[in-house]
């Protein structure tokens, strides 16, 4: 159905939304499939800006945060720095204006190559990236984020629970 309704632009791409833990497992599985030759490159794992720890956007993703940190850009900047040494392809950290606000965003990328080294890199990037968002929301007082952190083994120093 997508081939009938979506105009092709550039390389073939697919999108899926996965949560904390599932992203890393999926990325590692893709890397293993590249390693066995079941799928072949070029495959790039990237991410849109619509993510919990990757953007400070007071009119969209971070609107009405419980602790009032809607526009605080520390979290996407922390995400960019922490992914910059984990990611093979690099990290894009654009800033743009949306209405009256200037936004900050982080978009890490990596590429499965089928090697053990890439398994580790992919796992780190795809664990850290959504993990920053879990930490951000736990810090802001969201109980669901604290539950996810506990379930996924994310240690959040500022969270006493």
Where residue 123 sits, what CATH number does that domain have? Answer: 3.40.1770.10
For residue 68, being part of any structural domain is answered with: yes
For residue 160, being part of any structural domain is answered with: no
Partnered with residue 92 across adjacent β-strands are 107
Q: What DSSP line would sit under 76-132, residue for residue?
A: HHHHHHHHHTT-SSEEE--EEEETTEEEEE-EEEB---SSHHHHHHHHHHHHHHHHH
What pLDDT is recorded for position 8?
Answer: 58
What pLDDT is recorded for position 126?
Answer: 87
Domain count, the chain: 1
For residue 1, being part of any structural domain is answered with: no
For residue 66, being part of any structural domain is answered with: yes
For residue 21, being part of any structural domain is answered with: yes
Cα distance between residue 57 and residue 104, in whole Å: 7
Cα distance between residue 93 and residue 126, in whole Å: 17
What pLDDT is recorded for position 110?
Answer: 80
For residue 61, being part of any structural domain is answered with: yes
What pLDDT is recorded for position 62?
Answer: 77
For residue 158, being part of any structural domain is answered with: no
> Which amino acids are annotated catalytic?
16
pTM of the model: 0.75
The whole domain housing 138 covers 16-144
Mean pLDDT per 10-residue run, the chain (161 residues)?
A: 61 73 91 93 71 73 84 79 68 56 64 90 87 90 94 81 55
Residue 123 backbone phi and psi in degrees, to 5: -60, -40
What pLDDT is recorded for position 90?
Answer: 62
For residue 130, being part of any structural domain is answered with: yes
């Amino acid at each position: 159905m997508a081939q009938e309704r979506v105009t092709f632009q550039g390389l073939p791409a697919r999108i899926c939304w996965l949560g904390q833990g599932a992203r890393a497992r999926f990325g590692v599985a893709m890397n293993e499939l590249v390693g066995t030759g079941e799928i072949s490159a070029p495959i790039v794992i990237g991410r849109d800006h619509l993510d919990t720890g990757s953007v400070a956007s007071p009119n969209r993703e971070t609107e009405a945060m419980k602790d009032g940190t809607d526009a605080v850009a520390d979290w996407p900047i922390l995400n960019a720095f922490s992914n910059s040494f984990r990611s093979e392809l690099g990290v894009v950290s654009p800033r743009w204006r949306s209405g009256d606000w200037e936004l900050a965003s982080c978009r890490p990328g990596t590429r499965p190559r089928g090697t053990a080294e890439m398994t580790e890199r992919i796992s780190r990037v795809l664990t850290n990236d959504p993990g920053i968002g879990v930490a951000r929301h736990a810090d802001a007082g969201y109980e669901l984020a604290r539950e996810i952190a506990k379930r996924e083994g994310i240690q959040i120093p500022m969270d006493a629970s």
